Structure 1
Amino acid sequence: MLLYITAMSHHIDEKWDMKSHLLATENMEERHTAENLKTTLTTIIAEWVGDSSKVSAVVHDNAANIVKANDWCNWESVNGFAHMLQLAINDGFKAVTSL
């Protein structure tokens, strides 16, 4: 099974225009442990941004491994809205089909 991690950058430029950049999509052959995710993310950030203190927040799903990796990096943690919505929808379908 191929498992990937993608890192993107979103920022506002000097003209107050929103900018988005795909920094990397990498195949993670090792297990997606918090430690391995932290290593991969900090490597990507170091390559593209340089100083990880420039990272103000990280948006991610709310899986325990990525939340823990993000906490270890001391970045503001933001759960992705789309993932949270999908979880709520799935729970709703389970509740309806179990009646």
Structure 2
Amino acid sequence: MNSAKKTKIKDLKKFDVVDYLKTEKDIAAYLSAVLEDGDPALFVAAIGDIARAKGMTEIAKKSGVTRESLYRALKVEARPRFETVTRVVQALGMKLSIHA
């Protein structure tokens, strides 16, 4: 007879990548992995995850985008303007670069 206690689905904590984005190295590794996938929607959502990890209100202030608009723009199904993406990336203290 197995006396080990079984874990129930309801007892599991919902996974949120934000819980693992503690350092700049963590953030860079996450964003790099997402970029390798090549999915623009996933890239935008990852920027949203990073913004949540750093504090959405603060990032909204720094980027000049309202908090509500930022949440809407950084969802997987959103298609934000490139200007919005670059403003948020800068507000996060990151920069985009291309390497040959």
Greater relative contact order structure (CA < 8 Å, 6+ sep): 2
TM-score (norm 2): 0.33
TM-score (norm 1): 0.33
Higher helix content, 1 or 2: 2
Higher strand content, 1 or 2: 1
